[in-house]
Amino acid sequence: MPPQSPFPGKQQQLPVTTGLLSSGGWCRQCRRDHSLTSGAAEQACQDLMAQLDRHQRIDLQVASDLADPRCSTAALFAEAGGKMFGVLTCRDAGGNLVVLRAFSGQYNGLWQVPGWVGPVCDPVIFQRLTAPVEARIKVLGQQLACLPDHSRQRLLLRRQRRNLSRHLMGAIHDLYHLVNFRGEQASLSEIFSDRGMPPAGTGDCCAPKLLHHAARNGLQPEGLAEIYYGRPNTSATRQHGHLYAACDEKCRPILGFMLCGLS
């Protein structure tokens, strides 16, 4: 089957690879930046894109008759928009090349798909922590909708809801324990400490998933690149088939720690 363009009528252009995209951040311990260039990961991203074009699903290790409909790439071209996919090329202890792949956040509600590096935080533990608090926040929202504006009770419930959300965010940040290449561990709260609250979704991008997995499995990263696949985001800062370094907003503040100890 020939590769199909997800945008019919449009010629798909492959991005130019230079291998020089740089992902990194400031390391407080070493008092300098640590970074990792894209290297061979750019070509590996293009190989991944060709596979997604051909199969139109991400559960590539599963036989086509057993494919999970939730893993189809069709949704990436619909309203909700596309997604970042990341590749980390590494060497194992024997010097063999290992290519790790990850998608950002969840894929259609899935945290784990065979062939992809899983999340930093155990989804079961995450669910156990967040579900009851989110249910409570939802109930408060319903109660608020029935109260008159500016009433005393409304103000109280709003404050209660805000405190619950803040508390939940803090608890989530404590759940994310990132490992670096010195073998050290730190939670998102510890890494951000005096730099305020981590933005929502910090730790769920491709780069932290991949680096965390490599550090925990004795793999030496050599190249890191991300590719955007699907409908461009609303601000058009992400375009289908373009290569990117790790993001500045969520990843830069944690990559200094995560890359520490990498030779």
Which residues make up the interface to Zn ion (CB under 5 A)?
27, 29-30, 205, 247, 250-251, 260
- The least CB distance from residue 215 to Zn ion, in Å, is 13
Closest CA to 14 of 262, 256, 229: 229
Judged on CB neighbours under 10 Å (0-12, 13-18, 19+), 18 is: exposed
- The least CB distance from residue 84 to Zn ion, in Å, is 8
CA distance 237 to 55: 26
- The least CB distance from residue 162 to Zn ion, in Å, is 26
Tokens linked to 129: 């922590």
Tokens linked to 47: 């190989």
Our CB check for Zn ion shows the closer of 29 and 193 to be 29
Element (H, E) at 97: strand 97-103
Phi first, then psi, for residue 222 (nearest 5°) are -120, -30
CA distance 260 to 43: 25
- The least CB distance from residue 202 to Zn ion, in Å, is 8
- The least CB distance from residue 127 to Zn ion, in Å, is 23
**3-state SS, one letter per residue, for 208-233:** HHHHHHHHHCCCEEEEEEEEEECCCC
- The least CB distance from residue 246 to Zn ion, in Å, is 5
Angle at 244 between CA 190 and CA 227, to 5 degrees: 105
- In the three-class reduction of DSSP (H, G, I as helix; E, B as strand; rest coil), residue 172 is classed as helix
Closest CA to 202 of 114, 105, 133, 77: 105
Our CB check for Zn ion shows the closer of 35 and 143 to be 35
Q: How many helices (H) and strands (E) does the chain have?
A: 6, 8
- The least CB distance from residue 9 to Zn ion, in Å, is 32
Our CB check for Zn ion shows the closer of 231 and 250 to be 250
Our CB check for Zn ion shows the closer of 136 and 252 to be 252
How many residues belong to the chain?
263
Our CB check for Zn ion shows the closer of 49 and 247 to be 247
Our CB check for Zn ion shows the closer of 6 and 256 to be 256
Tokens linked to 119: 């999340």
Our CB check for Zn ion shows the closer of 59 and 204 to be 204
